[in-house]
Amino acid sequence: IAAKGASVVSDLDAQVGDKVKFICKEFDFFSLAVVRDRKVSATGNTLHLEFIDELFPTETVRREFANRLAAAASGNDSRRSS
């Protein structure tokens, strides 16, 4: 993932030039994207997307990741089970 696009594994039969909707619920991000490249493999299609409506909030992702690392290092990782 990057501010201007992403590579995703998908079962969509999207072709280069097609427009698709990209949604990331965790970061409340929605954008139309153009398929710029497509790779086919046994595990699924990898679509290389360029966002055309919005920039992905990469700084928010970095901040969230840093917070999770700090919590795990201090033993306060709420995602760990007891």
Amino acid identity at 59: E
pLDDT of residue 78: 55
β pairing state of 44-51 and 5-10: antiparallel
SS3 2: strand
Question: Which pLDDT band, with edges at 50, 70 and 90, does 5 fall under?
Answer: very high
- Over the chain, what is the mean pLDDT? 89
